[in-house]
């Protein structure tokens, strides 16, 4: 067993999954990195799959898997064109990965997640609130979008007013929604202070 703690929002998602069993297949969109959240669901008996667009992030996740002798099935893929069949997964989630998409691409990615999710399945997503410490309307390139550069690489961060992500979910039932406003500290060491959490049912 991997001895570590995970973000509280994932425990909350697991709690709702356990009251809504469909199948045991779960997909993480944006699954790479040195601390893959898929490990939490692997520990709880799920058949895990993950995609990430970054070779470096995938390599970090593979190193984690080798160190902990697990296989999370993380491969290269774009959440705007998910490389799995329709209705394949019982559960889909993306943990602070869609925040790097433009609002137009976010809509495309959510439609793809809906496609690969089976009827009755659950999806967990989170968004950056405009109340987050890093939002600065003076730096907006488009409404709610801020472009930054790191090591000559361009990054976008999308921010939302309360309830605005609801517009993406015409084909989902919103079963849980929470605004997490961190008054002291940062959101699970991410540097974020205000997150909009959603759990959706197809």
Domains contained in the chain, CATH given: 23-201 (3.40.50.150)
pLDDT for residue 153 is more than 90:
no
What pLDDT is recorded for position 123? Answer: 98
H-type alpha helices, 79-151: 103-116
pLDDT for residue 3 is more than 70:
no
In whole numbers, what is the pLDDT of the chain averaged over residues? 93
H-type alpha helices, 69-189: 103-116
**pTM of the entire predicted model:** 0.94
pLDDT for residue 1 is more than 60:
no
Q: Which backbone phi and psi does 28 adopt, to 5 degrees? A: -110, 120
Residue identified by tokens 């943990």 is 95
- Comparing CA positions, the residue from 61, 89, 85, 84 lying closest to residue 74 is 61
Q: How far apart are CA 174 and CA 178, in angstroms?
A: 11
pLDDT for residue 184 is more than 90:
no
Burial 23-58 (b: 16+ CB within 10 A, else e): eebbbbbbbbbeebbbbbbbeeebebbbbbbeeebb
């Amino acid at each position: 067993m991997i001895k570590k703690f995970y973000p509280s929002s994932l425990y909350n998602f697991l709690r709702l999954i356990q009251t809504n069993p469909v199948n045991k297949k779960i997909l993480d969109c944006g699954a790479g990195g040195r601390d893959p959240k898929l490990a939490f669901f692997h520990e709880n008996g799920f058949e895990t799959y993950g995609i990430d667009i970054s070779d470096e992030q995938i390599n970090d996740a593979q190193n984690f898997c080798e160190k902990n002798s697990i296989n999370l099935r993380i491969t290269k893929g774009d959440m705007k064109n998910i490389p799995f069949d329709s209705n394949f997964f019982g559960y889909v989630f993306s943990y602070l990965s869609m925040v790097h998409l433009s609002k137009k691409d976010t809509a495309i990615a959510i439609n793809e997640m809906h496609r690969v999710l089976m009827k009755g399945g659950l999806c967990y997503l989170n968004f950056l609130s405009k109340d987050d410490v890093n939002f600065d309307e003076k730096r907006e390139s488009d409404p709610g979008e801020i472009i930054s550069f790191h090591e000559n690489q361009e990054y976008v961060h999308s921010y939302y007013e309360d309830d605005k992500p609801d517009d993406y979910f015409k084909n989902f039932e919103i079963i849980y929604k929470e605004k997490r406003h961190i008054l002291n500290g940062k959101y699970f060491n991410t540097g974020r202070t205000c997150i909009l959490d959603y759990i959706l049912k197809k």
